[in-house]
A and B are shown apart, each in its own frame.
Chain A
Amino acid sequence: MTVSEPGPPPLLSLRGVGMRFPNGVRALDGFDLEVARGEFLSLLGPSGCGKSTVLRLVAGLARATEGEVSRPAGVRVGVVFQEPTLMPWADAFDNVRLPMRLAGRGAGEVRDEVMAVLARVGLADFAHAYPRELSGGMRMRVSIARALVTRPGLLLLDEPFAALDEITRGRLDDDLLALWGEQGLTVVFVTHSVYEAVYLSTRVAVLGGRPGRLVESIDVDAPHPRDEAFRATPGYAGTCLRASAALKAAMA
């Protein structure tokens, strides 16, 4: 699963994708990327390299000005943004239930599903807490629960833990890996942390900036499940060095 040999068609593919904003800034140019089903792919790159743009294109929140973004119909997408992006006027339960509400399903009908997802992210006791009563990490968990409640096949995360402290971040990284392992998800994870990217992913795509392009694709062969011990292995250190070097070269 770690190497994308010719075989089943990719879940997601971007071919020759270019993106030019109305103000003339080129965010992406000739961008190619394939994501196989079940992959945990990190997009690693400096700020302003177009990582978030790739994510928005994949989510369907933006339209490429050139090239082609294709993902098979019927694959549900969940997105976790940089900020928790919760509705401050609604409690955790109602925030998580939003996607189902927008699909026209009533609160009674989805209660069990919503509560199950909240329990999965460790917030069963906080279903009726409002966002302002939750810590930063808990808000992010609500945001993840909301992305998972529709049982997506593809989960997109845009630097989701960047604003959190080291310990909370590590914990959420592990939770995310566990979710990926048990739900058969495909994950595309945007980050600017080399260590986070290598720790989590089956593959790290290193992006260079202005306009954004794919510089190097690094497979991380270590088997999952991974834990803290993985961070102490020579393989982890070696891959981190390689990714750092690629990143440095991309920024030069």
Chain B
Amino acid sequence: MSGPREAGTAAARRAGAALAPFAVIVLLLLGWEATVRIGAIPPYILPAPSLVAATLWRDLPSLLPSLWFTLKITVGALLLAVTGGVLLAAVFALSRPIETALFPLAIVLQVTPIVAIAPLILIYVESTTAALLICAFIVAFFPILANTVVGLRSADAGLGDLFTLYEASRWQRLRLLLVPSALPYFLAGLRIAGGLALIGAVVAEFAAGAAGRETGLASRILEASFRTEIPKMFAALVLVSIVGIAIFAVFDLLARRLLGRWHDTELPRG
């Protein structure tokens, strides 16, 4: 219950906190630009940010389809990871023996570097797109699974007793107790998985090489490096970063929307 003035300063503080990272980035870019100009570094060694921006703008029409392709792989893999991870977590939460039997396998998938498995997957799976999807899925899957399992188990024991006392059905227990308890853990897993799915998509494409009709941003980076078009490499890299930041921002917002309600009095009740 803060007064309007406190709310005002709090808003100003929030705005300041939001601007700080941008200020840091701008300063870094300015420093980079100055270094390149003062040191007269040739663009095939290190292009200035202004040149990268110009290249990005010029090549955008040809880079956009690749961006779209990478985005499709990332989001597709993430959807698969969420579906698979949550379903398997639910099975694990219901049955300890199944968890004991399968969890080591999930860990093996997690600890084996994707760069090492990608070439194999590319051999066994005929469609490159499907192979990329599988690679990105493998890395994104584990954080969702692990976090959701912990989340489902984190339900308060006292609340569990209460549900027993009032003879809650299995479905009620799942919907009204386990799912809300697991939500913060799941969302934390989702945020990690989002970044990993993108990394998986990019790494797998590097392993696949610049082949096939449809290619993503990683292929464009490879292609540009073969031609020593360093500014274009940077331009594609900027796009990859933007995708990563966008994914993080979306899930951050989602988490805040879903969890902020726990301490929000102003919500009208339906």
Contacts and interface: CB of A to CB of B under 8 A. Distances in A.
Interface of A: 56, 59-61, 77, 79, 81, 83, 85, 87-91, 93, 98-99, 101-103, 107, 128-130, 132-133, 150
Contact of A103 (B166, B262, B264, B267): B166
A133 B159 CA distance: 19
B164 interface: yes
Contacts of A85: 156, 158-159, 161-162
A98 B165 contact: no
B269 A102 contact: no
Nearest first, the 7 closest Cβ-Cβ pairs linking A and B are A85-B158, A102-B166, A89-B180, A102-B168, A99-B166, A89-B262, A81-B158
Interface in B55-70: none
Given A61-B164, A89-B262, A129-B265, 9 more contacts: A61-B161, A79-B162, A81-B161, A85-B159, A87-B177, A91-B265, A130-B263, A133-B263, A150-B166
B35 interface: no
Contacts of A61: 161, 164-165
B265 A130 contact: yes
Interface of B: 156, 158-159, 161-168, 172, 176-177, 180, 183, 261-265, 267, 269-270
Nearest to B158: A85
Contacts of B263: 130, 132-133
Contact of B176 (A59, A101, A129, A150): A101
Given A85-B156, A132-B262, A93 B164 contact: no
A88 B262 contact: yes
Contacts of A60: 164-165
29 contacts: A56-B161, A59-B161, A60-B164, A61-B164, A79-B162, A81-B158, A83-B158, A87-B159, A87-B177, A89-B180, A89-B262, A90-B180, A91-B269, A98-B162, A98-B166, A98-B176, A99-B166, A102-B163, A102-B167, A102-B168, A102-B176, A103-B166, A128-B267, A128-B269, A130-B262, A130-B263, A130-B265, A132-B262, A132-B263
Q: Is the interface of B mostly helix, strand, loop or mixed?
A: helix
Nearest to B258: A89
A102 B270 CA distance: 18
B262 A77 contact: no
Nearest to A127: B269
Contacts of A103: 166
A56 B267 CA distance: 36
A31 B106 CA distance: 49
A79 B159 contact: no
Given A129-B265, A130-B264, A87 B180 contact: yes
B154 to A, nearest CB: 12
B147 to A, nearest CB: 17
Contacts of A102: 163, 166-168, 172, 176
Contacts of A89: 180, 183, 261-262
A28 B191 CA distance: 48
Nearest to B183: A89
A101 B270 CA distance: 15
Nearest to A101: B176
A89 B181 CA distance: 8
B214 to A, nearest CB: 43
B261 to A, nearest CB: 7
A129 B266 CA distance: 9
Contacts of A133: 263, 265
A56 B162 CA distance: 11
Contacts of B168: 102
A42 to B, nearest CB: 21
A85 B158 CA distance: 6
Contacts of B262: 88-89, 130, 132
Q: Among A87, A90, A107, A130, which residue has the most Cβ atoms of chain B within 10 A?
A: A87
Contacts of B161: 56, 59, 61, 79, 81, 85
B151 to A, nearest CB: 13
